[in-house]
Amino acid sequence: GQTIREKRIVETANKREVDYEVGDIPTEWEAWIRRKRKTPPTMEEILKNEKNREVVKMKSQDLYEEENLLSKGNKEELLAPPVQTQIKGHASAPYFGKEEPSVAPTSTGKTFQPGSWMPQGGKNPDQ
């Protein structure tokens, strides 16, 4: 009443495991051994897939070289020249951006009238 699972084995030309490295066995055979596909690959399928891999490898190498050439040529054009900046004080200082701190007070605390100023063009719920 038990089902016996079939064993999938690949007989290699070299009998020692140390003679093989990663990538020596085609991925189609790896997929068959690991039960990712039901039928073993044919030689034509392996050769066709290898040819496609080479084409993709060549196209990616060409694209990589083309991008390197473009990035080297445009590097100087895309970068802005450095700008000298002057530090005139801290933004929280009352005299920020002015030459010197003024002696005369600039507060409007005594002359402020509530409702005397309304922003122009703002969203007013009364309009």
Domain ranges of the chain: 46-75
| pLDDT given for residue 83 in this prediction | 79
Where would I find the beta strands (DSSP E) of the chain? none
Q: Which amino acid, 29?
A: W
pLDDT grade for 13, boundaries at 50, 70 and 90:
confident
Euclidean distance between CA atoms 73 and 89, whole angstroms: 40
Euclidean distance between CA atoms 52 and 69, whole angstroms: 26
> How much is the mean pLDDT over the chain?
75
pLDDT grade for 96, boundaries at 50, 70 and 90:
low
Euclidean distance between CA atoms 6 and 4, whole angstroms: 6
Euclidean distance between CA atoms 20 and 30, whole angstroms: 14
Query: Which pair of tokens denotes residue 114?
Result: 């509530």
Do 97 and 88 touch, CB atoms closer than 8 A? yes
Euclidean distance between CA atoms 36 and 74, whole angstroms: 46
pLDDT grade for 27, boundaries at 50, 70 and 90:
confident
Query: Which pair of tokens denotes residue 62?
Result: 């060409």
Query: Which pair of tokens denotes residue 79?
Result: 């970068």
Position with higher pLDDT, 90 vs 30: 30
Q: What angle do CA 120, 126, 127 make, to 5 degrees?
A: 65
